Amino acid sequence: MKNFFKTIFQNKARRNHYLVGFFIVIVTAFSFIVFTQRFTSIATSKSYHGVDLAERTRKKYQSVDQVNARRGDILDSNGDMIAGNSSIYNIVAVLSKKSKTSDGKPDYVQNKEKTAKKLSKYLPLSKKQILNYLTPKNKNQYQVELGPEGRNLSIEIKNKISSLHLQGIKFDEFPSRAYPNGVFATNQVGITKQDNSNDPNTNISGLMGIEKYFNNILSGKDGKKITKIDSQGNELPESQVVEKQAVNGSNVYLTLDSKIQQYVEILSQRVQDKYQPKNLQVIVMDSKTGQIKAASQRPTFNPSTGKGMSESWRDTLVEDQFEPGSVMKILTLSAAIETGNYDPNELYQSGAVEVGGRTIRDWNDVGWGYIPESEAFPRSSNTGMVHLEEKMGADTWMKYMKKFKIGEKTGIELPDEIAGGISYKHSSDQAMTSFGQSVNVNAIQMLQAFSAVANDGEMVKPQIVDKIVDPATGKTTKKYKKDVVGHPISADTAKQVRKQMRRVITEEYGTGMVYKVPGIKVGVKTGTAQIAGAGGYLSGSSNYLYSVAGMVPYNKPRYIVYITMKQPQIMSVAAEKMISEIFNPLVKRLMTQDDTSGENVEAGSQYVDMPNFLNSTVASAEKKIKKLDLQSGIVGTGDKIVQQSPASGQKVMPGQRIVMLTNGAMTMPDLTGWSKNDVLKFAEITGRTVVTSGDGYVTGQSIKPGKIINDSGKIKVTLENNN
């Protein structure tokens, strides 16, 4: 019995052994089949759970980099550079002791005292401030930046610091935009910004003006470069492949003439400094073609330094609307003559007229009694224009405003143009539009309307772009031609209006006698417009928009000059006299610009190319500055120049002050007589906070001349008008 059970047990164990073995064989075979199928599937499809394995492997062992297209240049009508590509630099101090050069030597800041002292000569930071940056709270920090003062450095400053061979001091290079002319139609040309300020390979994009309007054309199209790398990320030799070529941006040629533009900037700044208007616009347009030869506004800013940008973040020529005032009478007279409603011998009662329950008065309140219609325009009589508007009728006058395209965008190649509008519900508003109130325009719209009078009835669209050129081939891809946008009046009407504009200057009762330029036949219309406020029109002697529209020469106009000046803060002379300080010399320049000898040009009016004074002795720099008809402002007790403002290469106006920082102790200069712009340069170059009160020129300062300028605390500067 015992053997029987033993036999059964052995047979059962043998059977279980066979079953387990068979099961293992089956599972192994099944797994092999599944794995084989999966491997075959992966091998053929090269994907797993939707992941492209080939792509993942390719990415692991290759680097794909963007190849930036070169941004196109912006040039003037003669091909001179207005905006071009450049580089700026951020300074970095490596602090980690693990940083070494390729030959194993230490490559970090070891002597912080020495490094801070030398850097303080080239950065608007004190030794103490730099030491604070070089001693961060986090002891394990690999590297540090030196704050905003260590960013956006010019190539000049970068090279000067590099020449010191300071251990651990590095630079990150970023793409930038250079504006070699400094303030030069800045708000119309525009500026750019980096798309990613932390990426050295970033692109830049236009923020305003031409840079913004033509951003896609200027930017071009980026390319792509592929590089094979090993598992450690190191580039393999001769492995670079360009998969997609970058297409560089096109060059944009403007209609601006640098000689005229620079002179306009000089004259504008003089008036801005002297009378401090809240807004100033100066435009010169070729009346035959519509090409704008110069355009400037105040306030403006320096695109190289960014100074003034916060006060001038728009192009007022197209983005601001305003009531034009009496220059609108050019269009009113044109419409009245064209419709047969102007009789030069017909008398009307000047002084005051009631329309729709509102009394409209002449600018002198009392008028000149009964006078002929022929005197209404040169006297700039508001009641005379209302008289003509009533003779035409509101519908006819509106029809002609529309013919002159008032209330419509011109379509000029500048971003964010505003259309303006006409208030025309009430009869009093209708009457007021005849002398430029109750109607809003932009400056370019007015230029377009004036062109019909200048061109014997042919109205042309103002243009600021001449052509687009492919830099690779040199071929013009687009040419902007003369664009005739209407014929609102006849040639005979236009000639009659221009004769009236001449009488504004020649008649003893004309309002524009101050604009007489000897030897040049100028025709003008002056303007004085009230400024609308929250509760109606503002009061006060300076709360007006003053203007002049001129045609040169009046009989066969070559140029239209349009100047507006809003709320001058220093009313030391009549507003017309202020504007004439721009208009008269500008007209003279326009009529003599073909004379390349310069004999007919006002002496000292050309820009000065700023020399490089870095590392020059103070004595030699001051001597050269005086020779260039400039002023100097020295900061510090050293004998060599380590910083200057404006920077070298920029164009500056005669008489401008050059502020220079020396290599000695930073001491306070005597700011007496300095302008507000000079004080801003001082603040920029020293990195100190300066608070100004008042306008005009410096009469007081909180730190006495010769005293050491502390690292902290504000410097208070008082300015007063001395006119």
DSSP string, 348-382: EE-SEEEETTEEEE-TTSSBTBEEEGGGHHHHT-H
Catalytic residue among 326, 434, 645, 675: 326
Residue 224 near residue 64 (C-beta atoms within 8 A) = yes
In the annotation, is 434 catalytic? no
Rounded to whole angstroms, the Cα distance separating 715 from 693 reads: 11
**Which residues does 586 contact at the CB level (< 8 Å), separation at least 6?**
263, 264, 267, 282, 284, 561
The Cα 687–Cα 119 span in angstroms is 14
> Which residue(s) pair with 353 in the sheet?
360
> Tokens 């103002």 sit at which residue?
462
Which DSSP category does 513 fall into?
Answer: G
Task: Tell me whether residue 674 is exposed, middle or buried, using C-beta atoms within 10 angstroms of its C-beta: 0 to 12, 13 to 18, 19 or more.
Answer: buried
Strand partners, 242: 225
Q: Identify whether the C-beta of residue 669 lies closer than 8 Å to the C-beta of residue 698.
A: no
C-beta contacts of 230-239 below 8 A and 24+ residues apart: 230/61, 231/60, 231/61, 233/63, 235/63
DSSP-derived letter for residue 303 is: T
Joined together, the tokens standing for residue 368 give 């000149």
- 459-460/484-486 β-pairing: antiparallel
Phi and psi angles of residue 41, each rounded to the nearest 5 degrees, phi first: -65, -45
Distance CA 179, CA 182 (A): 6
74-75 and 62-67: which strand pairing? Answer: unpaired
CA distance 648 to 586: 27
Neighbours of 71 (CB within 10 A): 25
Q: Which of 553, 466, 468, 563 is nearest to 256 (CA)?
A: 466
Angle between helices 382-392 and 329-338 in degrees, nearest 10: 40
Q: Is the peptide bond before 299 cis (omega within 30 degrees of 0)?
A: yes
Give the residue numbers annotated as catalytic, written as ranges: 326
